Amino acid sequence: MAIDKAAILERLKTVMDPELHRDIVTLNMVTNVAYCDGLADITVTLPKSAAGIKEMLEGRIREALRELNLAKVEVSFAYRLTAAEQEAATANGGGQEQAEEQAEQSPQDVARASNPLPSVKHVIAVGAGKGGVGKSTVSVNLAVALARSGAKVGIMDGDIYGPSLPTMLGTDKLELKTIGNMIVPFEMHGVKVTTIGALVEDDKPLIWRGPMAHGAFKQLATQTDWGDLDYLIIDLPPGTGDVPLTLSQLLPLAGAVVVCTPQKVAQDDAVRALKMFEQLDINILGVVENMSYFIGNDGVEYDIFGRGGAEMMAQENGVPFLGSIPINMGLRKNSDAGDPTANFEDSKLGEELMNVAKRLTHQVSLSGPEDWTPSISIS
């Protein structure tokens, strides 16, 4: 068998990242492969925070290349700094050169260089480690809260496997319009909305293979006529799959919000989502604790799932906490009825939702370059 760079890359595609369960080539971690006369030289670039998996990865790489019978394999590691780490290195004096040397092209660098949505100021992804924790509910209510505060807001159903936005925003009976090859977004509750749900038949199972998922997501994001937006919220599918990877390479993000319920099992999955965003070089804007507590008819607050669990998880992982949303029957009913505006007529719930949005805009203002000031202020 002829050995060349392509053959080495093929073998490296069998090496999986232990956290993300995807291969290191697809994750863009293999930043250099050189081969000559039986000697292979491989460079793997990791986020600094993943330095601990270096030995394990090296072992897996050597194992994967064994069947090529190479005379010698050199594996070296480089580390990618987050934007905050690069700034800190520069501020510490003399660190810039080192930071530049270490900074490889991350998926977000690629997205920043070719931003297909320059009229959108801040793209915010909303993700969760697992389904059913209220990711779509939080996405919708954040979008409406931001719009009620005067911002121009769009929301996109990136949950291409199980779109909930048509029901939650009441667009399910509406017909999608296009002009030329551009989708005209619905305008509901003060928010521009686009969803894969409008492009496929109801009740049809949505099965996408990797490249199809990539194409559907890309088309929805870039072929919607968003106009000027302050915020574009993207409701991601649950877990750590193809879509976040596509997103990280496609759009420069202000960051990601991770939704989590308080239970320990939900926290473990949310930590996986945090790690995924970190590895894709996506800034974490914060964690939202959904279904935090329940207020009974007796007015007593019941901590059904262990209120505060997600906040503690956020603290332990050094990421901001954006606030708690209670279990609320009205919230569920309004979601089913496609009427999120009604959530803001309940003073306690409305206040909680507005507070989460306020903290989010604060984190966004901290996340970007200095000229990225948020265009609204929520009091």
Ligand X SMILES: Nc1ncnc2c1ncn2[C@@H]1O[C@H](COP(=O)(O)OP(=O)(O)OP(=O)(O)O)[C@@H](O)[C@H]1O
Considering Cα of 343, then 349, then 351, then 355, what sign does the dihedral take? negative
The DSSP code for 164 is -
Contact 99, 86 (CB under 8 A): yes
How many residues of this chain interact with ligand X, rule: CB under 6 A?
Answer: 20
Quick one: which H or E segment has residue 227? none
Residue 332 neighbours by CB distance under 10 Å: 12
Mark the segment that binds ligand X (CB under 6 A) among 109-117, 171-179, 310-318, 321-329: 321-329
Q: Quick one: which of 50, 133, 285, 314 contacts ligand X (CB under 6 A)?
A: 133
Residue 185 vs 239, nearer CB to ligand X: 239
132 is in an annotated binding site: yes
Say whether 193 counts as a known binding-site residue. no
Based on the shown chain and the rule CB under 6 A, indicate whether residue 132 belongs to the binding site for ligand X. Answer: yes
SS3 of 1, please?
coil
Residue from 62, 87, 110, 131 touching ligand X (CB under 6 A): that is 131
137 touches ligand X by CB under 6 A: yes
How many whole angstroms separate alpha carbon 119 and alpha carbon 308? 38
Q: Can residue 257 be called a binding residue for ligand X (CB under 6 A)?
A: no
CB of 85 to ligand X, least distance (A): 31
Stretch binding ligand X (CB under 6 A), from 129-137, 174-182, 184-192, 354-362? 129-137
Q: Give the shortest CB-187-to-ligand X separation in angstroms.
A: 21
- Site for ligand X contains 327 (CB under 6 A): yes
Neighbours of 114 (CB within 10 A): 10
Q: HSE of 357 in the Cβ direction (CA atoms, 13 Å)?
A: 28
Tell me whether residue 379 is annotated as binding. Answer: no
DSSP single-letter state for residue 16: B
Confirm if 340 and 141 have CB atoms less than 8 A apart: yes
Q: Where are the alpha helices (DSSP H) in the chain?
A: 5-12, 54-65, 83-91, 95-102, 107-113, 135-148, 165-169, 210-222, 242-250, 264-279, 309-316, 329-336, 347-367
- Alpha-carbon span 155 to 144, nearest angstrom: 9
Task: Confirm or reject binding of residue 348 to ligand X (CB under 6 A).
Answer: no
Check residue 288 for interaction with ligand X (CB under 6 A): no
Determine the interface stretch with ligand X among 46-54, 90-98, 205-213, 330-338 (rule: CB under 6 A).
Answer: 330-338
Applying CB under 6 A, does 343 fall inside the site for ligand X?
Answer: no
Site pattern 9..28 for ligand X (x: CB under 6 A)? --------------------
Q: What is the dihedral of CA 164, 255, 15, 8, to 10 degrees?
A: 120
Q: CB 302 → ligand X: shortest distance, Å?
A: 13
Q: How far is CA 105 from CA 164, 280, 339, 352, in A?
A: 34, 11, 42, 39
Interaction between residue 328 and ligand X (CB under 6 A): yes
**Measured from the CB of residue 78, what is the shortest distance to ligand X in angstroms?**
35
Site for ligand X in 25-84 (CB under 6 A): none
Interface with ligand X (CB under 6 A):
128, 131-137, 159, 162, 164, 238, 290-291, 325, 327-328, 331-332, 335
Q: Which residues participate in the annotated binding site for ATP?
A: 129-136
